[in-house]
Structure 1
Amino acid sequence: MRPDIQQTLSDLDATLTTIEKVMDPEEIATRVRELEQQAADPQLWDDPEHAQQVTQELSMQQAKLKKLTALRQRLDDVPVMYELAEEEGEDTALADEELQDLEQEIQTLEVKTMLSGEYDAREAVVNIRSGAGGVDAADWAEMLMRMYTRWAEKNGLKVEVYDISYAEEAGIKSATFVVHGEYMYGQLSVEQGAHRLVRISPFDNQGRRQTSFAEVEVLPVVEQTDHIEVPDNEIRVDVYRSSGPGGQSVNTTDSAVRLTHIPTGIVVTCQNEKSQIQNKAAAMRVLQAKLLERKRQEERAELDALGAGGNASWGNQMRSYVLHPYQMVKDLRTNYEVNDPQKVLDGDIDKFLEAGIRWRMAQDS
């Protein structure tokens, strides 16, 4: 086996060993057994909400344990693949490919172990709003929503759309959706900020280059333990009919809900669910997430004022996507860049997420 291959395997073994110390497979296995006992109890579903929490956690813990076990087994198997190829005088292409895939997966898992913030383990509420750039900006906002949706699909994650406000000519004015899964907020929070697109506008008859912007906001899903109470007298509730592209009505009843938080002026809408009650509940979850984030920012500002350090914001413009006159996507904070924008827009953003998380850790240290 080549010395460089041996060194790579040694480095991966050290990294995976560190990950195993942090995640503790034995502790996860113990927790899985506890949850399996709870899930087997016939009386569990007497409390559907608690039952759902148990089954969701069981599924996540089982997946986590399976991932760790599989990575260790694959790492143990790679040297054997090289030895067999060399003994048979065959090409090591398959072993090289497996080693490359393994290196990527272990690095990705390593980054997840860095997510230790108070809300990092939560699911994520993502808000996308079109900015400067007219119809191109609305189209760009829809492209970004597709990018995150495709990323979620590739990772086996469920996306639940709460609200979409369609623009008249093309694209969307705004969208709100939840990405379900463990550590979604920790991973996607590094996407917050302004995303800039430079391209030849498909909406310009003269084929001129256009720069457009869209804003991405990422919030942690609020849980019951967060104590974000919103008195009824602080909320104005408006109901209306859901609308689709071009303003067309897609619902014959007034089921869509708009909540306005009077003290702060925060407005949240939801029209995805079939009933007014469901839409109001979903809108309330987003409103609580926004109020939780506002509270966190105020607390952070107080700490900064006291000289506790840290930056309350990373600056607004965080990534550029250039489709013309050259091809490039570059993160302006980490300087990580790729020359295949279409691949990124199809959901291949893992490297950007990893670079963003590592950058954030360096900023906070």
Structure 2
Amino acid sequence: MADDDPAEQIKELSATLASVESVMDLDAKRTEIEQLREQSADPDLWSDQDNAQKVTRRLSWLESEVNRVKTISQRLEDLAVLFELAASEDDPDTRTEADTELGSLRKDVGELEVRTLLSGPYDEREALVSINSQAGGVDAADWAQMLQRMYLRWAETRGYPTDVYETSYAEEAGIKSTTFAVRAPFAYGTLRGEHGTHRLVRISPFDNQSRRQTSFAGVDVVPVVEQSDHIDIDESELRIDVYRSSGPGGQGVNTTDSAVRITHLPSGIVVSCQNERSQIQNRATAMNVLQAKLLERKRQEERAEIDELRGEGARSWGTQMRNYVLHPYQSVKDVRTGYETGNTGAVLDGDIDELIDAEIRWMRSRERGEDV
């Protein structure tokens, strides 16, 4: 059968890769790389730290994307030779090695194909992720911290820089809330499907009777604002509080009231920043986070109005999006896509790419009005 013929499978993967390259427009990316390299060689670049970091992050990401495609293309060529070698020498070990590489390439090409689906108006942006503990008491606070670690580990393994703006620690264990930025192009488009309620079922480590506990944490993902974005914020509608940064157990981190909390009174949105020692810097960062959240709210309201005009109100996404079960069995299941894995340890350690890929495909199908 053709499906079992390695040559046909390699040919099919090569065709898919060619279509991906076309959508990614690698020539345009190479041109931009050369322009960014010229900018990065300018000794005056670092006079503006924020712009310099933006240039270097963009350059690093573009080089990574181009090299990723180039590497996969070379691996496909090498794989064809490997299969030929296995057949000519009738070597089962070489054939096993080739079959393993074929499976790996199928996965890698699939991930690249998913990237081409990120075409929303803000998908190319960096992401702001907020996590809040919900129902479940101390277990929920612990769960929120587990999720924070999961996403930070995911970003770390992909080489994405992160900035933790604020973490509010719970008294006994875990965190009440946290906000952090993922500093990579397409971070928002990649992570926006993580928005919603995450449910954990396990034997509570905080229950002296070792009973099963269900706890919840909410994840919010919004795009980082850019200078072209315009959201009017009336200063009279803000309540600004300053306080001393604190760590686990309520211990003070700073000796001055440098942390800033901003409440947008009309919407009830509250943002905080405590990662800088300067109150002025924390206020500026908190305002940027507020801008991002208000921009996302505006986008959602506009989308809701369009959906209502189309009669699509019933198609809104539910808030609970994923279940993590550690007892009495091991399972992580996305309630929307149906994707499920029993490797809970790997997921909680940041291995969430397959869950994310399934989300992206699901969201694009919904946005196109396709059946899923």
Relative to the length of structure 2, the TM-score reads 0.93
- Aligned pairs (5 A) from 1:30-45: 30-45=31-46
Structure 1 CA distance for aligned equivalents of residues 253 and 49 of structure 2? 32
- Aligned pairs (5 A) from 1:183-332: 183-307=186-310, 309=312, 313-332=316-335
1:113-156, Cα deviation, whole Å (9 max, x unpaired): 10000000111111111111111111111111111111111111
Aligned-residue offset at 1:311: 6.6
Look up the SS of the partner of 1:259 in the other structure: strand
Change (3 A) 1:326 1:44: closer
Counterpart code for 2:68: K
Look up the SS of the partner of 1:226 in the other structure: coil
Structure 2 CA distance for aligned equivalents of residues 189 and 311 of structure 1? 20
Partner of 2:182: 179
| Alpha-carbon contact 1:220-1:289 (below 8 Å) kept | yes
| Alpha-carbon contact 1:257-1:269 (below 8 Å) kept | yes
Q: Report the RMSD for the aligned CA atoms in angstroms.
A: 1.9
Aligned-residue offset at 1:58: 2.4
Structure 1 CA distance for aligned equivalents of residues 153 and 51 of structure 2? 31
| Alpha-carbon contact 1:36-1:58 (below 8 Å) kept | yes
Partner of 1:99: 102
Counterpart code for 1:17: A
Partner of 2:139: 136
Look up the SS of the partner of 2:218 in the other structure: strand
Aligned positions, number: 365
Counterpart code for 2:140: A
Partner of 1:152: 155
Aligned-residue offset at 1:286: 0.9
Aligned-residue offset at 1:308: 6.8
Look up the SS of the partner of 2:318 in the other structure: coil
- Aligned pairs (5 A) from 1:63-142: 63-90=64-91, 91=93, 92-142=95-145
Partner of 1:5: 6
| Alpha-carbon contact 1:310-1:363 (below 8 Å) kept | no
Counterpart code for 1:112: R
Look up the SS of the partner of 2:147 in the other structure: helix
State the percentage of identical aligned residues: 59
Partner of 1:20: 21
| Alpha-carbon contact 1:297-1:312 (below 8 Å) kept | no
| Alpha-carbon contact 1:310-1:364 (below 8 Å) kept | no
Give the stretch that moved more between structures: 45-54 or 290-299.
Answer: 45-54
Change (3 A) 1:19 1:224: same
Q: Structure 2, unaligned stretches of length 5 or more? A: none
Counterpart code for 2:136: G
Q: Structure 1, unaligned stretches of length 5 or more? A: none
Aligned-residue offset at 1:43: 4.8
**Aligned counterpart for 2:353 among listed residues 325, 347, 350:** 350
| Alpha-carbon contact 1:235-1:260 (below 8 Å) kept | yes
Aligned-residue offset at 1:108: 0.8
Change (3 A) 1:41 1:250: closer
Counterpart code for 2:137: G
Structure 1 CA distance for aligned equivalents of residues 49 and 160 of structure 2? 22
